[in-house]
Amino acid sequence: MNVLVIGATGGVGKHLLPLLADQHQVVAMARSDAQLAAFEAKGVDAVAASLEQPVSQLAAAMAGMDAVVFSAGSGGATGSDKTLLIDLDGAVKAMEAAKASGATRFLMVSAIQAHHRPNWNESLLPYYAAKHYADRELMASGLAYTIVRPALLKDEPGTGLITAAKDITSGGAIARQDVARVLAACLDTPHTQGQAFDLISGETPIPQALAAL
């Protein structure tokens, strides 16, 4: 598959690129010339585009892609305005661009319990609202979607052991590396199409956990 990774410079995206490159033709989306040059210096195919550009430009960047992985985010240092523009509108524009360009598979990195308002993190309400509605738009888009809702992300080595379920309300955390491993596995697991699930570290190897969804 030809796969475009949006959010390739982020914590999950950095782990995801080499995982996908083993099995697929991967292209990283870069929003600046500096990012584009950095990818090219590492031998990573990249295309220049920004989630704040028109849908037509995003669609041009997706030309020839079979799948899109959306792991972008505005980041904790920005305000609610950027959360709205990137995590919600940027995600929806990416969906529209995928449909316009002919990409049919769409993997979304969301947030644990984003589908269940009573369990939203009180300190991150704009972020959770953005994720909630972006996920709903994806489910209604007609794309072959998978929505992965990870818990608190950790910068530590992954274990390859997870718990994945429609609802996980017990809290928890997960390494970014393991989120990337789950995304890579979902791309090659047709069973995960049309699925949305919470994700934390656990005791089950990733292939078995996904098969049990």
- pLDDT, one tens digit per residue, over 126-160 is 999 999 999 999 999 999 999 999 999 999 999 99
201 pLDDT more than 70: yes
Q: Please indicate whether residue 133 is annotated as part of the active site.
A: no
pLDDT at 110: 98
Provide the token pair at 178: 């393991």
pLDDT at 78: 73
What is the distance between the alpha carbons of residues 133 and 124, in angstroms, rounded to a whole number? 15
Active-site residue identified among 127, 128, 133, 145: 127
pLDDT at 77: 67
Provide the token pair at 18: 């080499």
What is the side-by-side order of every strand in the sheet holding 144-150? 46-48, 25-30, 2-6, 67-70, 105-109, 144-150, 195-201, 161-165, 204-205
- Do 30 and 52 form a contact (C-beta atoms < 8 A)? no
79 pLDDT more than 90: no
Instruction: Work out the mean pLDDT of the chain and round it to a whole number.
Output: 96
